[in-house]
Every structure is written in C-alpha cells, then in structure tokens.
Amino acid sequence: MIRCAGSLRAALLVAAASFGAASAAAESEAPAPGVSLQLAQARASNISRLRYELVLSIPETLAQPVTGTNELRFHLADPTKPLVIDFDAEGASEATITVNGVGVPTRAVNGHLVIPAAPLRLGENTVRIDFRAGNAPLNRSKDLLYTLFVPAQAHRAMPCFDQPDLKGRWTITLEHPAQWQSVANGAERDRRRTGSQVRVRFRQTQPLPTYLVAFVVGDMKVETATRQGRPMRMFHRENDAAKLARNREALFDLHAESLEALEKYTGIPYPFVKFDFVLVPALQFGGMEHAGNIVYRAEALLLDESATQEDRLSRAHLIAHETAHMWFGDLVTMRWFDDVWTKEVFANFIADKVIGPLFPHVRHDLQFFLGNHGSAYSVDRSAGANPIRQPLDNLSGAGSLYGPIVYNKSPVVMRQLEALLGDASFRDGVRTYLRRHSFANATWDDLIAALAGRTKLDLRHWSRMWIDEPGRPVIRTALEVNDGRVQRLALQQSDPQRRNRLWPQQLRVTVGCGQKPKRIVAELVGDEVDLTRLLDGCVPDYVLAGGEGWGYGEFELETRSQAYLETAIPSLADPLTRGVAWSALWDALLGGRMATGRWVDMALLNLRAERDAQLIGEWLADLNVVWWRFLTPAQRAERAPGLEALLRGRLDAAADPGLKSTWFAALRNAATTPTTVAWLRSLWQREATIAGLPLVEADETALAYALAIRGVDGEQKLLDTQRDRITNPDRKARFEFVRAAASADAGERERWFRALEDPANRRQEVWVGQGLRLLNHSLRADHAAALLPKALDMLLEVNRTGALFFDASWMYASLHGHSSPQAAATVSRFIENLPADYPPRMRALILQSSDLLIRAARTRAP
C-alpha cells in the first residue's frame, strides 16, 4: 500500500521535472512485472558499454539484511525516455538513487525502478543505487550465502538490467565476517581486515550476463591445486576428511581434463581469467556454470566408497557439462531464454565427447542412449510434450523452459545433425559460431547460419520439425513373411497427433539374422521406406528400427519381433542392442501392447542374466517403477519372494562394490517380505554386514527411511538413533527436516506437508523434494492421495517462489508413488477445471509428471 502511494508521488515529481508532454506520457506508463521481451529489446538497442560496481555488506546474523550499493555505468543511444532498471525486492521503494550525481526520487513499479529521463545524457551515464538486498536468490543460511541468479533472479537481490543480452563487466566488493571465505567471478584483488570484518575486492570481470554473476560467502574450507599451469581452487564444507581425500584429486583432474578437451574441440583457450568451483550441500541444481566460479551440489561430487559406475559417470558428465558452459553459454550467450537449449545441448553433447576417453571401458553409445532417450521419451510420450525451442514473452516464465526435452532430446537431435554434416564440418561450424559471437550473444539462427554453408540439407525444414515441434513420430515396422520368405519389410512413420507431421531422420536398423545381426541404414524422410531388397534373403527373428540407439521415436515392434524379444534379449550379444530392445518393450508396456505380468517376467529373466552394469542400473530403475506402480499389492506379494531372492543372489555374487551397491539399493527399494525387512534392520543395527560392501552414512540414512516407511517397530527411536549417527551439521539439519515425512504417524506427515505452505519452509528445495518422495511413497499413497489437491494447488506459487526446476521436482515428487484410479482422477479433474489463464507451461508440467500415474491407473483399473 505504501509502495503504491510512494510511486504515485514519485511519478508526479518525475513528470513535473521532465521535458515535454510526450516523455511525461511515456513515464506514466508502468513497465510490466518481470522482464518482458519488449523491455529487453528496447534496452538492448539503447544501452551499451555496461559496467557494474557492486559493493555488498553481508552481516553475520541472518536477522540483519544484506545492504549494498550498485553503480551502473553505461552508454545510452537515446536518453529522452525514462530508463527501467530491474529491482524486485521488498525494500526496493526505499532505495536511494543518484543519476549522474543528481539525486532522483525513487519510483518502484512492478519490480522495476523507473529512472526519469531528465538527468540522463547521450553517451556515458552513471546511476548509483543504495539498497537493501532481497534475500530470495541469495540462499542465506546461518553461515553460508550463495547466489543463484539464473534465469532472471539477480534483480530480486539487487538493481540491474536482468536480461542475458546486456552483458556487463562486474567489479564486486564483499564485506563480511573475517572468519568466512568468499569467492566471486573475478579474481581476488585485495583484502583489508578491520576488527572482525574483512573487505574483499575482486577484479573486474569480462562481460557477463546477470545470470552468470555469482558469489559465495560463508564458513568454507579451500583446497588448491595446479593443473597444466592453471591454479584452481575448490571451496567446500565437508568435515569428513577421508571422504574429501578420496575425491580431491579426481575433482581437480576431471576439471583439468574437461578444460583441455574443450580447448581442443573449440580451438579457443579457456576464456575467463581464473577457475574456481564451490561445493554447496543440497544445492538446488546439480551444478551452475557461473563464469570462473562454478557451484555444484556437494553430494554429486563427493562420492562414497560404494559409488557405482553410474555415479562416477554422472559426476564426470556433470563436471564436463558445467565446464563446457564456459564456452557455450558464458563466452557466447543466447540472446533470449527461448534459445536456452542452445547452451544446454552443447554442454551435454560436448560433455559426452569429453568423458569418452576418461572411461575407456564404458560403452559410450550405450551410455548416450540410456542417458538421453528414456528421459526425453518420458516427456514426448505424454500429453504435455513441449518442443525444444519454446517462445517466451517474459523472463518470469524462463524457468519452466528447462526439462528433459532441452537436456536430453536436444543432444539426440544434435547428434543427427552432426552425422548429417560430418564431425569435422560440424565442429568447424561450431568454432565459427563461437568466434563470431565471443563475449556477446547469439541465436539458434546464428548457429544455423554458421552450419548452413556446410551441407546441402534444408536445415530450416529439419529445424522446424525437430526443434520447433513437440512429440515424436510413431515408427512401425511392416514385416510380411510367407512360406519362409520375406515378402516385405518397410518402415512407416506417422504423427501420433494426426497432424501429418513427418520427422526426417536417419535410422540404423538392426535385423536379427542368424548369428550376427544385420545393419541396414535407412533414410526415413517421407512416410515410408521399403527395405525388402536390402534383406538379402534373410528371414529376421526380429527387427529393431531404432537400432544402435540412433533413431528417435516410438518404435512399435511388430508381432514377430515382440514375441521373439520378450524372451530372447539375454541371447543378444551386443549390450546396446539389448538396451534398444528393452526400450522398445518398455514403450510396449506403456503403450498397452504388452501385459504387465509378461513385462515383469521379461524383466526378471533379463536381470537374472545381465552382466552390463549400465543396463543393470537402468533396468532396475524401470522395474522399480513397475513394481510399485503397475502391480497391485496382491501381485507384488505373490512375486516378492522371487524378486528378493534374485536381487539378493546377484548382490552376493557381484564382484565389485559399485555393482553390489546397485543391487543392494534395488533390494532395499523393493523389499516387502518380513525376512528381508528384518535383514535390512539388522544391517542398519550393524549386527549384520554385506561381504565386500561397507555401508556408509548415506546407506544407513537410506536404510533408516526405508525401514520407517515399512512401518517397523520403534520407528521414532530408530530415526533418533540415525540422527545421532550423523556428524556433518549440514546433513544432520537435512535429516531433521526430512524425517517427519517418513513418520509412521499420519498426522505428523500431514503437519510436515501443511508447513510447506509457508515459503520459508520450502527454502531448502532438495530437502523438500526428498521429503515429498517419502510422503508420497506407494506404501503411503492412500494417505498422501488426500494431500494431492493441495500439492497441485500450490504449483503456481511454488513456481513463483522457487528456484529453477523446483516446480518440476515438486510435481514429480508429489505424484511419484501414486497409481490409484482415484489419484489419477484427482489430477484429471484438476486439469479439466483449470482457469483459462493458467500458464500453459505449468499445465504441460502437470501432464508430463502425471503421465506414469495415468498409465498405471489405467493398467490397474478393474
């Protein structure tokens, strides 16, 4: 209320001081909330040579605000219009502003400060703003502060031009308690200590968009190392010395190897002046690529002794991904967030290239397939599928652009593009693109332009189907066998939405002919391609149109192939072919072309025989979904002894701790029989052990939750003991937060959930996600179903107040244990009754995250 009155007064003052009726009229126009495309375009054409000088004071106690000054220097091409600076924090209207040395009244409107035109000049201008910082993107806890400004959150902390194509050079000074460490994008220039405080000045950065600006301040330790002459620092809060020692060298090495590979691929030396990274416990993201100052989720990098091969691959991939962003995103930035996928696709695509040589014993084509296709399909098979590139009219909606389509479909598509152009030609085009737009911005069209001269292919048509359209083609195999001879083999594609869309792509069909499968390369451009001639008389046992994990679509097996593969996957020699066959059967299950019981039999048959660690991990995850969501409790009970015996047998027989860890986690997740639950308890009580697999704190915590969910006796005391076993303060705080969500007392669980209505209780987003998954576990789903309407209601608010990805993790965690027709009906009703102005991307998110629920409920419906 006060803010409105204040703005009105300021608006009148401004109008009175300015020249002419036209500018007075312009000034009375209020900029829309968020950062609109229109505002961004107007500013980008007006503002240049942008520099920021930011000074922030960070107090020791949380109760005191962070205060500061930001001095913005820039050139204006047109000083006749009011200037809009973004600042959306509680105290924004109390900021004091001077423009070119002259004080101006503060006009705070819709999350912006509107600077009157009068004191602005053609050419160089200086706007100095003293302000109280907003806390939301500062992630403050009692002894740690870390910023996350992506995609446009910087202005919720401090005044700035919060759009990706206004890159500025930042000079940052941080004042904070002297016992704390601090790190920012720029190299440290000097520090001055006064009593209990220290003032640290960082050197000016290269041009950076606001979303890449970052600093971390707090109680941290620092490790340093030098690789290839480059000093690196790692900031962290780990108090387990052995854990740190076990990971330290690998973390520096992985970064050094990634940097080297990127320099080689791009032909451009590491673009920024220094290289640090920070490990933040329970960070909202796996990592964030702040230039020269990457932050990571500590848990993703500091691995336990029992880490699986998958954990190691994921860690290497994450590091390579964030490091790749130093070129893709940081050096060359998308002009607007509708092209955010261009930086993510390269980060993932190049990360795959980087980690290849680091894990020579791993099948990387299989890893690529498992890491991307399944995840992208989970969205593209849903009714909420979105295209890779999505239009965006305001950065307030930028957070909802991210997801499996951006992260996982786009690398598949980019690999096709690379194959069409040839590796070297593709790389040269990418190099041209990077050189052309260094320290500036670019669009997808700019990349197409850099590639277009290198191919005869119509890249624009290709791009329209793969980049701008949602969904995937259905690809059917037509196989006619008569009198022991193949009459016809053809591939046909169709549009599941019946809009006659055709996706041009190359397929590498695997045909099961005798001992060695046959490979047929097919260009599926129109609706059908005939392959009969290419069979050379072979009568196939099976045809996998998505062979080698190369194609993208719903590959419907014809009857002969499906019947064969339901029992024959273990006999296929190539692990990638086994993976592709499994994926086709997974689609068959979800598409209603394979009965659940048959699928489970198929899964058990394969899990009994499989030797490939990558496949085992992936298949166990699929089985876990079917086990809890597609089987009824009675079906589960009937099959439980058999499954548990299988898992226990493979756990005992596994040779290395990583694989043992995989089998053990699967057994812990699936366990329901009293014998196995009692055995898990004795492990947790340290009365039993597993030969060759030492259980660490994380294992015991997971066991404690698993036992609590299964309603074992004395569950509160068990959770108390587990809390006392945890020595790391960050992990202990997390446990204390999450445990109520696993309580046997339904009232306590409900109170935990209701408390999330207060945004302050949702600040630790990773903790909330974990708690929601426990609360909504299938064994608790009957109770949790009653809370589902509230979780759905809260989505918009969660999207508005949370960091990137939190809306998605909120929805997926809230739905992940449900499979009842009632829960499905709750979601369907909610979608049907949405108001017309409900954000389409949030609606799409609900459809995506409820896809398995709807399919499971349909399967289980009597």
Q: Which residues bind Zn ion (CB under 5 A)?
A: 344, 347
Rounded to whole angstroms, the Cα distance separating 341 from 336 reads: 11
At residue 731, the 3 state secondary structure works out as helix
Closer to Zn ion by Cβ: residue 134 or 411: 411
Provide the minimum distance between the beta carbon of 137 and Zn ion in the complex, in angstroms, as a whole number. 18
Which regions of 457-524 does DSSP assign to beta strands (E)? 474-482, 485-494, 505-511, 518-524
**Nearest distance from residue 325's CB to Zn ion, in Å?**
6
Long-range residue pairs from 489-493, CB within 8 A, at least 24 positions apart, any chain: 489/530, 489/531, 489/532, 489/534, 489/535, 489/540, 489/543, 490/528, 490/529, 490/530, 490/531, 490/532, 491/522, 491/524, 491/528, 491/529, 491/531, 491/545, 492/527, 492/528, 493/524, 493/527, 493/528, 493/553
Provide φ and ψ at 501, rounded to 5°: -80, 145
By beta-carbon proximity to Zn ion, the closer residue of 317 and 578 is 317
DSSP bridge pairs for 190: 201
Token pair belonging to 10: 């300021």
Closest CB to Zn ion among 347 and 742?
347
Smallest distance, Zn ion to C-beta of residue 374, A: 19
The Cα angle at residue 291 between residues 285 and 295, in degrees rounded to 5? 30
Burial class (CB in 10 A: 0-12, 13-18, 19+), 756: buried
- Tell me how far apart the alpha carbons of residues 339 and 390 are, in angstroms, rounded to a whole number: 8
Which residue, 347 or 524, has its beta carbon nearer to Zn ion?
Answer: 347
Neighbour-count burial for 265-292, b at 16+ CB within 10 Å, e otherwise = bbebebbbebbbbbbbbbbbbbbbbbbb
Which CB, 150 or 667, lies closer to Zn ion? 150
Shortest approach of Zn ion to residue 402 CB, angstroms? Answer: 9
CA–CA gap between residue 741 and residue 704 (Å, rounded): 13
Q: Nearest Cα to 215, choosing from 275, 154, 145, 153?
A: 145
Least separation in angstroms between residue 279's CB and Zn ion is 17
Minimum separation from the CB atom of position 343 to Zn ion (A): 7
What is the closest distance, in whole angstroms, from the C-beta atom of residue 844 to Zn ion in the complex?
21
Helices 423-436, 444-452: axis angle to 10 degrees equals 130
C-beta closer to Zn ion: residue 326 or 347: 347
The distance of closest approach from Cβ of residue 344 to Zn ion in the complex, given in angstroms and rounded to an integer, is 5
Q: Which is nearer to Zn ion, 317 or 734 (CB)?
A: 317
The nearer residue to Zn ion, 162 or 344, going by C-beta atoms, is: 344
**One-letter amino acid for residue 401 of the chain:** L
**Distance (Å, whole) CA 334 – CA 402:** 14
Position with the least CB separation from Zn ion: 347
**What would the DSSP string read from start to end of 692-710?**
TB---HHHHHHHHHHHHHT
Instruction: Give the residue with the Cβ less far from Zn ion, 185 or 722.
Output: 185
User: Please, which residue, 11 or 347, has the CB nearer to Zn ion?
Assistant: 347
Q: How far is the CB of 514 from Zn ion (least distance, A)?
A: 45
Between 344 and 644, CB nearer to Zn ion: 344
Output 338 or 699, the one with its CB closest to Zn ion.
338
Torsion of CA 682, 685, 690, 694, to 10 degrees: 170
Q: Which helix (H) or strand (E) holds 253?
A: helix 241-266
Rounded to a whole number of angstroms, the minimum distance from the CB of residue 40 to Zn ion is 21
- Burial class for 574, CB neighbours closer than 10 Å (0-12, 13-18, 19+): middle
Q: What distance in Å separates the CA atoms of residue 763 and residue 773, rounded to the nearest whole number? A: 17
> Which burial class, exposed, middle or buried, applies to 430 when counting CB atoms under 10 A from its CB (0-12, 13-18, 19+)?
buried
- Please state, in angstroms and rounded to a whole number, the distance separating the CA atoms of residues 311 and 166: 38
CB of 276 or CB of 344, closer to Zn ion: 344
Phi, psi of 77 (to 5 degrees): -85, -30
Query: What minimum distance in Å lies between the beta carbon of 517 and Zn ion?
Result: 36
Q: What 8-state DSSP symbol labels residue 538?
A: -
330 versus 344: smaller Cβ distance to Zn ion = 344
- In whole angstroms, how close is the CB of 746 to Zn ion at the nearest point? 40
Angle at 452 between CA 446 and CA 457, to 5 degrees: 135
Of 855, 842, 854, 853, residue with least CA distance to 814: 853
| Nearest to Zn ion of 350, 852 (CB atom) | 350
Asked if residue 177 lies in contact with residue 196, where contact means CB atoms within 8 angstroms, the answer is yes
Whether a cis peptide bond, with omega within 30° of 0, leads into 151 is yes
The least distance separating Zn ion from the CB of residue 322, rounded to whole angstroms, comes to: 7
Least distance CB 321 / Zn ion (angstroms):
6
Q: How far is the CB of 318 from Zn ion (least distance, A)?
A: 9
Q: Is the distance from CB of 358 to CB of 350 less than 8 angstroms?
A: no
